[in-house]
């Protein structure tokens, strides 16, 4: 699997954060919301490793 670039990770993180906010509002406490929160964590971690520092929201 090819490594994702920093720009691609930033775009995906932005999309996932918007989706997560929508789920918080419309489908709280569902499995879908928990999966979205986990995806945000995974993407942030991957991005932090790539740039070598903490990632802001």
Per-block mean pLDDT, blocks of 10 residues, the chain (57 long): 86 97 97 97 93 74
pLDDT value of residue 55 = 67
pLDDT value of residue 52 = 84
User: What's the predicted TM-score (pTM) here?
Assistant: 0.85
Residue 4 DSSP SS3: coil
| 40 Cβ contact list (under 8 Å, min separation 6) | 13, 16, 17, 20
The DSSP code sequence of 10-49 is HHHHHHHHHHHHHHHHHSTTSHHHHHHHHHHHHHHHHHHH
């Amino acid at each position: 699997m090819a490594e994702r670039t920093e720009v691609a990770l930033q775009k995906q993180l932005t999309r996932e954060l918007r989706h997560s906010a929508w789920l918080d509002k419309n489908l709280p406490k569902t499995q879908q919301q928990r999966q979205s929160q986990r995806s945000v964590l995974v993407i942030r971690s991957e991005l932090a490793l790539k740039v070598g520092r903490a990632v802001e929201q």
